Structures are given as structure tokens and as C-alpha cells.
Amino acid sequence: MKNIFLICIFALSLSGFSQNKKTSNFETITLGGGCYWCVEAVYENLDGVKSVVSGFSGGNVANPTYEEVCTGTTGHAEVVQITYDKNVTDINEIFKVFFTVHDPTTLNRQGADVGTQYRSVIFYKNEEQRKAAQSIIAELNKAKVYNNPIVTKVEPFKAFYKAEDDHQNYYANNKNQPYCRMVIQPKIEKFEKVFKDKLKKK
């Protein structure tokens, strides 16, 4: 039921989005929604997204490795840093995708991935991003789209550390691995169903 509700809300919102501007205007947002392999694979297919980089934010250790973050002791979340063209997509659409493809109601976990590194978090870089994040969270909670309250944190961006090269474009390079087939592929299929009019042309 909640998926149908999400589709209806987002379809109405997206129908009014204008793409008539001509000059490019790039902006960056950093999001954590569980395993960054999953989130990266989804946003790579959203029209208007220039780049998606997997990495870490929100911790207290500079330049952490993947192994260090996995211990849960560095304070970092697995995140993706998304650079997008505001003339093709916008921050509200970025957030609508975010709240469609992960569960924002489970604290420090997504499915079988458990730990603070898998927390749901938005690291905003300006007031527009902060207000948009708080607005959509309030809207979804008010509409009771989920059975439980949203636990997504909205925090100011401080630093981003790029993950090792073998963690970039992970799904594209490892489609036949069990995790990719069983965990990432269903998220991509859900995204493609809800945002079918916003997919990159292949």
C-alpha cells in the first residue's frame, strides 16, 4: 500500500517539474541510505545526475578505509556524493528517489546490513537542501507512508572521503554476484518503475 501511495505522490510532484532552463547549474548532495553500492547504482540511472561517488561522511577519522568504517568505530556512514544538473533534476526529486529506494525507518540498518555505518542520513550543504529534506520527512510522516516514524538524520555536511576504487561503480562491475542480484537489482527495478519518466536515455 505504501508503495502505491509513494508512486501517486511522486508522480504528481514530478509532473510539474520544468526542464526549460538552458544553462547548466551543478550542485552536490551527500546521502547515506545503507550500503553505498545500492544507492550508487540507483542514482547512476537518474536523468540529470552527472556523477555518483561512493565514500564516507559523518565520522571522526580522516581518510578512513572501508575496513575501518566496517568496524563501526570511526563514526562514518557509507554515503554517495551526487552531483546533478539543477536544470534537469532538482533536490526534491533527489530526495524522492532516496525515500523510495531505502527504508528510512530502521535505525542503523538496511535489511541484513547492520551498524551505524548503514544509518539513514542526509548531509546538507545549504539552506535549500536542509529545508527540502526536513519538508519531505515531515510530509511523509504526516501522510503515514511508513508504518514507523522516519529516523533519517539531517546534518550539516563537513567532509567526504572517497572509498577505494573497487567500491566505485560496484554494481555495474559485479552484476552477477549474489549481493548484486538479490539486494541491489530489486532496488533498481523499484526505482525504474516509480521514476520511469526520469531515467537516463541509454
Active site residues: 35
Q: Residue 86 in contact with residue 26, Cβ under 8 Å?
A: yes
Spatial separation of the C-alpha atoms in residues 177 and 69, rounded to whole Å: 22
Of 49, 81, 97, the C-alpha closest to 163 is 81
Place of cell 565520522: 59
Place of cell 508504518: 147
Amino acid sitting at position 74: T
Cβ atoms < 10 Å from Cβ of 57: 22
Amino acid sitting at position 196: K
